[in-house]
Amino acid sequence: MAGRCGPRSGPDDLNDEIETVRYANGEQELRLVGGARYRIAATHRAAGRGLSVDLLILDELREHRDWLAWGALSKTTTARPNALIVGISNAGDDESVVLNALRSTALSEQDSTMALFEWSAPDGCELDDVDAWAAANPGLGRTISEAAIRSAMSTDPAAVFRTETLCMRVDALDAAVDPGAWAACSDPSGSLASARERVAVCVDVSPDSAHITLAGAAQLDDGRYRVEVLAAWKSTEQARTELPSLLERIKPAAVAWFPSGPAAAIAADLRPLDAVEIKGAEVMEACQEFADLVAARRIVHSSDPLLDAHIAGSQKLRTGEGWRFQRRGAGHCDASYAASGAVHTARTLPPPVKKPKSRIFV
């Protein structure tokens, strides 16, 4: 609607307090008879500048991906004696920098002027935990039904359900691997030693070549696949120097890599190893297969901090009807690629040749 000053409107008990209502795009304003004004501002670096604000309400604070709008808006309250800033938001992900920082400060109790009012499910809860639903939804059974939440659980990606319905912070909103399922696959007591002859390894490189990971995987006797980080380097030069001797010591059944990705930086070092090349549609197959095996609890890992961090931060890069791990703008995920490549290669190894039983004839 074009800019205009509308007539007084609203409930009868408040109608006499309204002087004008302005609807102009970008200039929406409600002015009261007593001189107070309520305005709407967009979240950018110029928002609110030049104003002195007594009550600042920031809706959907999780969508503040940088500090520009906060820096401009929060300072409008500095000169007011009893100013109040209210942030209203659901939980966010790692990119919700403002929300995450303010919440951490509130929890640390370092600032006595801050208060945190939060309804969220406990960390590590299962998606179908009804008690966790109640913790995050105080209106459960009154304004919100269990059927509605169960429907959201069955239709939303796990990360979306956790942040939107359980009000839990997630590393990535479009997480490639369900964090709850990944945590459930942890088994720090095990190792690849029992399946040494069946170990397949995969090496991958981050886009900035600042991180390289070698992961190994093998099928266990119970049909699950154990995956471990075998080595990590901070430069391709270091990887080139140490990889040959490491592989000689491990003696893997197969070595794999993703030639169409950043690992091309060490292609000349990998091709002489007769390494398996995971490329084309097989890249998506490896990533999606890995996520599916985690969801089915058919992956076992040792809770390695590096792999945990890369898996938690891995997001989906959708291509057509499939997806693979997103490399750019989502932090390092070379450990995720190396782990999925190692599992995929282990799954495609030819079955071991059974040795014939010896017979003794008398």
pLDDT tens sequence across 294-347: 999 999 999 999 999 999 888 888 888 899 998 865 568 999 999 999 999 999
pLDDT tens sequence across 29-45: 889 998 888 888 777 77
Question: CA dihedral defined by 22, 28, 31, 36, rounded to 10 degrees?
Answer: -170
Tokens, residue 183: 């945590």
pLDDT value, residue 359: 63
Say which amino acid occupies 223.
G
Indicate if the pLDDT at residue 14 is higher than 60. Answer: yes
Quickly state the pLDDT bin for 11 (edges 50, 70, 90).
Answer: low
CB-CB contact of 171 with 312 (8 Å)? yes
* Sheet of 212-219, strands arranged across: 276-277, 254-257, 200-205, 212-219, 225-233, 299-301
Indicate if the pLDDT at residue 362 is higher than 60. Answer: no
Residues 181-199, mean pLDDT to the nearest whole number: 90
Quickly state the pLDDT bin for 3 (edges 50, 70, 90).
Answer: very low
pLDDT tens sequence across 208-242: 999 999 999 999 999 999 999 999 999 999 999 99
Higher per-residue pLDDT: 24 or 140: 140
Integer angstrom CA distances of residue 273 from 8, 46, 202, 255, 257: 79, 56, 12, 8, 11
Chain centroid to Cα 156, Å, comes to 15
The sign one gets for the Cα dihedral 89, 93, 94, 95 is negative
Integer angstrom CA distances of residue 267 from 158, 249, 259: 36, 21, 7
Higher per-residue pLDDT: 117 or 75: 117
Which H or E run contains 87? strand 84-88
pLDDT tens sequence across 266-300: 999 999 988 999 999 999 999 999 999 999 999 99
What is the percentage of the chain residues whose pLDDT exceeds 90? 57
Other beta carbons within 10 angstroms of residue 69's beta carbon come to 22
Q: Where are the domains of the chain?
A: 5-108, 130-170, 181-347
CATH architecture of 181-347: 2-Layer Sandwich (3.30)
pLDDT value, residue 1: 34
